[in-house]
Amino acid sequence: MMHPVIQHILERKGASIPLNDGRKTALILFGGTMTGARGAGAVTALEELCLNKAFDMIFTISAGFPNACYFLTGNTHQGASIYYEELCSKEFISMPRVWDIVDIDYGLNVIKNKKPLDYEALSRTQTDLYVRLLNISTGKPEYRNVKGKTPEELELVMHAAVSLPYLNPGSVELEDGRFKDAGTMDSDMIPSVEDVLLSDATDILVIYNRPYQYEHIRSAGIFDSERLYRTVYRRRIFTRVHRSGDRKERHARHGQSRQIDIWRGRIDTALIK
């Protein structure tokens, strides 16, 4: 028997929100720097199922934000390829470069110029797109809805979303303060899920990239249910890798099969009505 959340998501195949089906479908995309490759593969599978316009809300953390942006603009294959073609390099991550271990500017240049994200199309999306950021003034993480922002504003949000604490110095000035990536704060993992449970979503799909994220999700009162990859199909991620080189091949193999998990909360009506 197919899990109701999976059924409700698949019923939206090929459809575009807003829909009058009585449901509010939400997607949560976790981050994790290079482990974001797993999430990129998962949203690639969702796009191939024609579901990139089917979610009312997408909540993102760290690398989950660029993954969501390529997903909403219908270009997940290009977005996913960034992990194994550009980011597997010393230009992006260099431990000896202690003052700037992760060169965010390099990654942002790839997103803007080499494999350009269509910020114009993103600014027109009907999906409520939330990004989890650390407010420097308050010292607290918060979800910010960037739906309807201009391409220029979205570019700044992208910079803030991937500005890793401790690994990349500085923060980004947005319209009402300075912000940076809140994704590495373990203390925020549970609240980041609980905030989504407090939304009006009826169906929630969570894509996580690391085992400890799973533990935090469970601590928020959510337990695993069906596996979408068992119900739909098991997707091989990064099958278009043609380059050689140990690091590129290793990252490609690491992401070859990634499960997409469906979750139900401790209060059924928080997710399924």
| pTM of the predicted model as reported, rounded to 2 decimal places | 0.79
| 3-state DSSP of 68-132 | HHHHHCCCHHHHHHHHHHCCCCCCCECCCCCCCCECHHHHHHHHHHHCCCCHHHHHCCCCEEEEE
pLDDT of res. 222: 55
181 neighbors 231 (Cβ within 8 angstroms): no
Structure-model confidence comparison of residues 59 and 103, the more confident one: 59
Across 211-221, average pLDDT: 58
Which span out of 47-56, 165-174, 222-231, 251-260 was modeled with the highest average pLDDT?
47-56
What's the CA gap between 266 and 161, in Å, rounded?
29
What's the CA gap between 130 and 145, in Å, rounded?
4
Give the pLDDT band (50/70/90) at residue 79: very high
What's the CA gap between 137 and 257, in Å, rounded?
40
186 closest CA partner among 162, 153, 219, 152: 219
189-197 helix and 211-219 helix, angle to the nearest 10 degrees: 50
Residue 259 has pLDDT above 50, yes or no: no
User: DSSP letter at 9?
Assistant: H
What's the CA gap between 161 and 65, in Å, rounded?
7
What's the CA gap between 260 and 205, in Å, rounded?
8
What's the CA gap between 177 and 204, in Å, rounded?
30
Residue 136 has pLDDT above 50, yes or no: yes
pLDDT of res. 206: 85
pLDDT of res. 196: 85
Tokens 């550009």: give the residue: 86
pLDDT of res. 67: 96
